[in-house]
């Protein structure tokens, strides 16, 4: 969707936002937008006397840079400037030439635009498709470079490092997570093609080796050739153009399709990349939202990673380009307790000896399992955990591909009620008809709560067994596996908590 950004060098009224944004420069009393020679001035033919200049994808230019500096030098004399962009923000803090910035209530300087036509407005006008995010969680196991075996579930309240490694494990083609999600996505594409026969799917991969492996898996699942697009191959653009014109089911690409590529028939996507910047995410999702007829809905399969879910929830929000960064430090995720401090201090003391063994092991994905988690649509969440390939999963990925947004929401609510009824029926005693209570969700989900509880239980067992805390922790690591408390995941801490509870219960 083209976006219009109207940038002003001296007028502070302009604002730049996500969606179609417009910015023009300082108004000139001259009524005609033509140079003395006659034709309008363009990027490729600037004139010192030209009253007009225009640029597209203006956010790709920034200062200081060769491209941004050249833009400013070439178009500084223009009295009117028209800048167009589809993503009116950048991931860095480099200013965009001729765009005005004003501080917000926190002192962060934000870009300003005069006209914005964003995703929310385009959705209301039927110009773009609504998006259903199919979120998948799962259990991950991997070995760190230090030799520790880790396990965690996607969607747990783990540290950023553990979440990142669990995410990386999920994307490994040798595990079971990716094949399960690709199988579900292919099933979804089949449903969509009942109403849109030429609908296509796109998998966005992190690197070339992963892209080739995903293509091999998809060919086994779909029984059809898969188009693979690698950015360093000369024929990549031709392959994309060919895919846009044929009726093949799947294309796998490495980043190249994230921006500036128009394949209107793309309707199903798998976000299988570790990229998580707002700019890349917006460009990637933008490949699926172009509407060709009423009732079309895009379906994007996502791993349950907090940063991605936040971006998905904010899809309809307008975004400004910020020149400053917040001073807030979230490095420790706000999670602290005395026991963590002691462990961290010990780790710092042993940093030198730890470094000696870094090359002894290599990072390795051990296992990954997928579970359907939920559907995110129109600001709501639908469904609950379900195993891949079950009726509970198909209730959501099997929704028809041509429905109005209101119909999609209503159908999702119906499917959620049906899923809840099945869960109740499974817990019903066939003889007495009594329904067994559901297993309660874990009471301690965040790392801070897990660590605090574990420290308390360790203290109780230490007094009971007359053993130092360090000995108790070492025994827990020996029996349950995993690293020290400061590096352990929610799942690993819960295993230690359960073990101590059993021991205390027998005492």
CA distance 176 to 388: 11
In a domain, 329, yes or no: no
> What is the pLDDT, as a whole number, of residue 444?
45
The answer to whether residues 213 and 206 touch, using CB atoms and an 8 Å cutoff, is no
224 and 293 co-located in one domain: yes
Phi–psi pair at 299, nearest 5 degrees? -125, 120
| Three-state SS at 480 | helix
319 and 393 co-located in one domain: yes
In a domain, 237, yes or no: yes
CA distance 385 to 408: 20
428 and 452 co-located in one domain: no
The domain boundary residue, chosen from 117, 139, 165: 117
**pLDDT 10s per residue in the chain (507 long)?**
444 343 443 333 333 333 344 333 333 333 333 333 333 334 444 444 455 555 555 555 555 667 677 877 888 888 888 877 766 556 567 778 778 888 877 788 877 777 777 777 887 788 889 999 999 999 999 999 888 899 999 988 788 899 999 999 999 999 999 999 999 999 999 999 999 999 999 999 999 999 999 999 999 999 999 999 987 667 888 898 899 999 999 999 987 655 556 899 999 999 999 988 888 888 889 889 888 888 899 999 999 999 999 999 887 665 555 555 555 444 443 333 333 444 444 444 434 333 434 445 689 999 999 999 999 998 889 998 899 999 899 999 999 988 988 999 999 999 998 888 877 777 677 777 676 666 655 554 577 888 888 888 888 888 888 888 888 888 898 888 888 888 888 888 888 888 888 888 876
Domain total in the chain: 3
In a domain, 338, yes or no: no
The answer to whether residues 143 and 47 touch, using CB atoms and an 8 Å cutoff, is no
> What is the pLDDT, as a whole number, of residue 194?
94
In a domain, 490, yes or no: yes
132 and 15 co-located in one domain: no
| Three-state SS at 23 | strand
> What is the pLDDT, as a whole number, of residue 382?
93
Query: Quick one: tokens of 337?
Result: 């307790």
> What is the pLDDT, as a whole number, of residue 86?
67
Domain housing 465:
447-506
In a domain, 454, yes or no: yes
Which residue, among 307, 370, 310, has the nearest Cα to 172 in the 3D structure?
370
CA distance 357 to 352: 10
CA distance 212 to 394: 27
CA distance 492 to 328: 29
* Cβ contacts of 479 within 8 Å, gap of 6 or more: 499
Q: Residue 259: which CATH number?
A: 3.40.50.300
* Cβ contacts of 19 within 8 Å, gap of 6 or more: 1, 3, 88, 116, 117, 118, 119, 120, 121, 122, 318
In a domain, 376, yes or no: yes
139 and 179 co-located in one domain: yes
Query: Quick one: tokens of 345?
Result: 């201090």
422 and 304 co-located in one domain: yes
| Three-state SS at 408 | helix
The domain boundary residue, chosen from 435, 465, 485: 435
> What is the pLDDT, as a whole number, of residue 504?
85
The domain boundary residue, chosen from 435, 460, 490: 435
290 and 315 co-located in one domain: yes
Which pTM does this prediction carry?
Answer: 0.71
Query: Quick one: tokens of 77?
Result: 């004399």
């Amino acid at each position: 969707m083209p976006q219009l950004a109207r940038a002003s060098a001296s007028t502070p009224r302009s604002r730049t936002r996500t969606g179609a944004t417009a910015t023009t420069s300082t108004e000139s009393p001259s009524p005609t937008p033509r140079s003395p020679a006659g034709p309008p001035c363009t990027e490729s033919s600037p004139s010192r006397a030209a009253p007009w200049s225009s640029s597209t994808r203006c956010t790709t230019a920034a200062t200081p840079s060769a491209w941004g500096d050249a833009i400013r030098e070439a178009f500084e004399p223009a009295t009117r400037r028209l800048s167009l962009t589809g993503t009116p923000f950048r991931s860095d803090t480099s200013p965009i030439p001729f765009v005005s910035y004003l501080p917000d209530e926190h002192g962060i300087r934000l870009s300003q635009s005069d006209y914005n036509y964003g995703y929310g407005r385009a959705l209301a006008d039927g110009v773009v498709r609504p998006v259903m995010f199919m979120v998948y969680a799962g259990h991950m196991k991997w070995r760190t470079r230090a030799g520790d075996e880790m396990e965690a579930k996607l969607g747990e309240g783990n540290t950023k490092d553990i979440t990142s490694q669990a995410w990386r494990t999920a994307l490994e083609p040798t595990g079971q997570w990716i094949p399960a999600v690709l199988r579900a996505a292919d099933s979804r594409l089949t449903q969509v093609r009942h109403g849109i026969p030429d609908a296509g799917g796109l998998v966005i991969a992190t690197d070339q080796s992963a892209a080739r492996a995903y293509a091999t898996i998809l060919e086994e699942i779909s029984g059809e050739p898969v188009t693979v697009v690698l950015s360093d191959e000369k024929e990549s653009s031709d392959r994309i153009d060919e895919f846009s014109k044929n009726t093949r089911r799947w294309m796998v690409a490495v980043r190249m399709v994230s921006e500036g590529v128009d394949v209107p028939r793309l309707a199903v996507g798998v976000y299988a990349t570790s990229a998580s910047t707002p700019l890349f995410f917006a460009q990637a999702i933008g490949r699926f939202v172009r509407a060709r007829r009423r009732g079309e809905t895009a379906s994007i399969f996502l791993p349950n990673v907090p940063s991605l879910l936040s971006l998905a929830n904010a899809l309809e929000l307008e975004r400004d380009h910020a020149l400053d960064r917040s001073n807030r430090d979230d490095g420790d995720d706000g999670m602290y307790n005395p026991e963590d401090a002691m462990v961290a201090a010990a780790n710092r003391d042993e940093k030198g000896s730890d470094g000696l063994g870094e090359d002894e092991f290599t990072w390795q994905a051990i296992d990954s399992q997928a579970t359907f988690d939920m559907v995110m649509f129109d600001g709501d969440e639908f469904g609950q955990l379900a195993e891949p390939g079950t009726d509970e999963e198909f209730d959501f990925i099997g929704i028809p591909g041509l429905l109005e947004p209101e119909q999609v929401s209503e159908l999702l609510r119906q499917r959620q009620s049906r899923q809840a009824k099945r869960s109740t029926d499974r817990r019903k005693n066939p003889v007495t008809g009594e329904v067994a209570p559901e297993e309660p969700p874990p009471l301690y989900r965040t790392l801070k709560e897990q660590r605090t509880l574990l420290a308390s239980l360790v203290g109780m067992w230490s007094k009971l067994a007359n053993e130092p805390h360090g000995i108790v922790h070492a025994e827990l690591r020996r029996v349950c596996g995993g690293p020290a408390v400061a590096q352990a995941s929610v799942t690993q801490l819960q295993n230690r908590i359960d073990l101590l509870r059993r021991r205390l219960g027998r005492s």
